Amino acid sequence: MRLLLALSRGIDALNERVGRIVLWLVLAMALLSSINAAARYLFNRSSNAWLEMQWYMFAAIFLLCSGYTLLHNEHIRIDVVSSRFSRRTRVWIDIFGTIFFLLPMSILILKLSWPIFMNAWVSSEMSSNAGGLIRWPARALVPAGFFLLSLQGVSELIKRIAFLQGLIPDPVEKPQIAAIEVLHADEQVNR
């Protein structure tokens, strides 16, 4: 299990780094959007390439940060239902969901998107819009994003199993929340 936890830390570090780099694309996309809008309204100039670049950046943010989002446990959950269960039961639900839903779906999309990317790469597919961009970079984002998500799914699975074995603390618990709960528990003891 020690080797698997080391693998998990490596995957976490990869998604953390990718996520922090890609988050800068939000600023770049906002700046590009502003420049494009200003050029269109002030100078009556527009470019399909600039619009497509915004779409590519949005796709990169969404796809490449999916593993980062899972790492930070910021993905969508049905907390209304799961909050009624014990922590161990929620961990088992996470394991079940990862094995039977997240990983099969991610791997299937990765597998199906790879030939589409390769076709765009080999054919040097171009946008059908006048002045548009080449398409393979956008097509590459889908398999890359789902690869990162699949890796993070494996990492989360490892951490959940290690937690159930008592080897690591709760991987979902946020440090600041844990610290507040410890302070609250100390106050209860001191009374």
* 14-43: pLDDT as tens digits: 999 999 999 999 999 999 989 988 888 888
Q: What is the pLDDT of residue 140?
A: 96
Tokens of 55: 């779409």
Residue 168, domain extent? 2-190
Q: What is the pLDDT of residue 82?
A: 74
Q: What is the pLDDT of residue 153?
A: 97
Q: Tell me which residue has tokens 């946020």.
A: 174
Q: What is the pLDDT of residue 74?
A: 87
Report the C-alpha gap between 106 and 112 in whole angstroms: 10
Q: Structure pTM?
A: 0.83
Spans in the chain with pLDDT lower than 70: 78-79, 174-191
Q: What is the pLDDT of residue 184?
A: 55
The answer to whether the CB of 1 falls within 8 A of the CB of 165 is yes
The answer to whether the CB of 159 falls within 8 A of the CB of 71 is no
Q: What is the pLDDT of residue 187?
A: 59
Instruction: Please give the C-alpha separations between residue 49 and each of 126, 129, 131, in angstroms, as whole numbers.
Output: 11, 9, 6
DSSP state of 74: -
Q: What is the pLDDT of residue 191?
A: 56
- Find the helix packing angle between 136-164 and 87-97, rounded to 10°: 140
The answer to whether the CB of 152 falls within 8 A of the CB of 107 is no
Give 93-118 pLDDT, tens digit per residue: 999 999 999 999 999 999 999 999 99
Q: What is the pLDDT of residue 69?
A: 95
Instruction: Please give the C-alpha separations between residue 149 and each of 61, 167, 169, in angstroms, as whole numbers.
Output: 13, 24, 23
Q: What is the pLDDT of residue 83?
A: 77
Report the C-alpha gap between 41 and 186 in whole angstroms: 61
| Residue 116: Cβ within 10 Å count | 16
Tokens of 173: 């618990």
Q: In 3D, which of 66, 51, 55, 61 has the Cα closest to residue 22?
A: 61
Overall domain count for the chain: 1
Report the C-alpha gap between 41 and 43 in whole angstroms: 6
